[in-house]
Homo-oligomer: A and B are copies of this chain.
Amino acid sequence: RIDGDRLWRTLMDLAKIGATPKGGLCRLALTDLDRQGRDLFVSWCEAAGCTVTVDEVGNIFARRPGRNPDRPAVCMGSHLDTQPTGGRFDGIYGVLAGLEVIRSLNDQGIETDAPIDLIVWTNEEGARFSPPMLGSGAAMGVFTLDHVLDIRDSDGLRLGDELARIGYKGTVPVTGHVMGAYFEAHIEQGPVLEAEGFEIGVVTGAQGQRWYEATVTGRESHAGPTPMRLRRDALAGAAVMMEAVEAIALEVGGDACSTIGRVQVHPDSRNVIPGRVWFTTDLRNPDSDALARMDAMLRERLAAIAEKRGLTLELTDFWAFPTTPFAPELVDRVRESAQRRGLTHRDIVSGAGHDAVYVARKVPTTMIFIPCEGGLSHNEAENIRPDHAASGCAVLADAVLATAG
- The chain A residues found within 8 Å of chain B, CB to CB, are 83-85, 125-127, 130, 132, 188-192, 207, 209, 211, 219-228, 230, 233, 235-236, 238-240, 242-243, 246, 249-250, 255-263, 265-275, 280, 282, 284, 350-353, 375-380
A263 touching B265, Cβ below 8 Å = yes
B132 touching A271, Cβ below 8 Å = yes
B282 touching A377, Cβ below 8 Å = no
CB neighbours of A375 from chain B (8 A): 221, 225-226, 230
CB neighbours of A130 from chain B (8 A): 270
How far in angstroms is the closest Cβ of chain B from A22?
10
Given contacts A270-B130, A271-B259, A376-B221, contact A236 B226 (CB under 8 A): no
A261 touching B207, Cβ below 8 Å = no
Select which of B190, B224, B261 is within 8 A of A225 by beta carbon: B190
Given contacts A235-B260, A265-B263, A280-B270, contact A224 B85 (CB under 8 A): no
Select which of B188, B219, B235 is within 8 A of A263 by beta carbon: B235
A270 touching B262, Cβ below 8 Å = yes
CB neighbours of A190 from chain B (8 A): 222, 224-227
Q: Among the interface residues A224, A258, A268, which one has the most CB atoms of the partner chain B within 10 A?
A: A224
How far in angstroms is the closest Cβ of chain B from A118?
25
CB neighbours of A221 from chain B (8 A): 375-379
Q: Among the interface residues A126, A225, A230, A352, which one has the most CB atoms of the partner chain B within 10 A?
A: A225
CB neighbours of A284 from chain B (8 A): 223-224
CB neighbours of A272 from chain B (8 A): 83-85, 127, 261, 378
CB neighbours of A125 from chain B (8 A): 269, 271
Query: Which chain B residue lies CB-closest to A318?
Result: B270
CB neighbours of A240 from chain B (8 A): 239, 243
In angstroms, Cα B225 to Cα A188, docked, is 8
B246 touching A273, Cβ below 8 Å = no
A269 touching B83, Cβ below 8 Å = yes
In angstroms, Cα B225 to Cα A238, docked, is 25
Identify 28 residue pairs between A and B in the complex whose beta-carbon atoms are under 8 Å apart, listed by A's number: A84-B272, A85-B220, A125-B271, A126-B269, A127-B271, A130-B270, A132-B271, A189-B224, A190-B222, A190-B224, A191-B227, A192-B225, A220-B378, A221-B378, A222-B378, A224-B352, A233-B259, A243-B243, A260-B274, A261-B265, A261-B268, A261-B271, A261-B273, A261-B274, A262-B269, A271-B282, A271-B352, A271-B378
